[in-house]
Amino acid sequence: MPKRFRLTRRFTVAMTEDGYRRLKKFSSEAGLDEGEAMSFLFENFDSVTDAENLGHRLRLFNADLDARKR
């Protein structure tokens, strides 16, 4: 029997405009709302990310983060 899909956790998320636009585009293309899209991405995180590329992209994001906050 399939697992029942319930959104049991709600939390405030601060996102960049670019990140939010990409989430909206992904959720629209997938036929999901933003919460469902985020649940999908995090439930399947290991299969939707490239482990080798993730570290590099994270370092770039962190290096640029302080400048983007100003």
Helix axes 34-43 and 17-30, enclosed angle (nearest 10): 90
Q: What is the mean pLDDT of residues 12-24?
A: 92
Q: Please, how many CA atoms are within 13 Å of residue 41, restricted to the half-sphere of its CB? A: 15
- CB contact at 8 A, 15 and 41: no
Q: What is the pLDDT of residue 28?
A: 96
| pTM for this predicted structure | 0.75
Q: Are 37 and 30 in contact (CB under 8 A)?
A: yes
| Mean pLDDT on 1-26 | 84
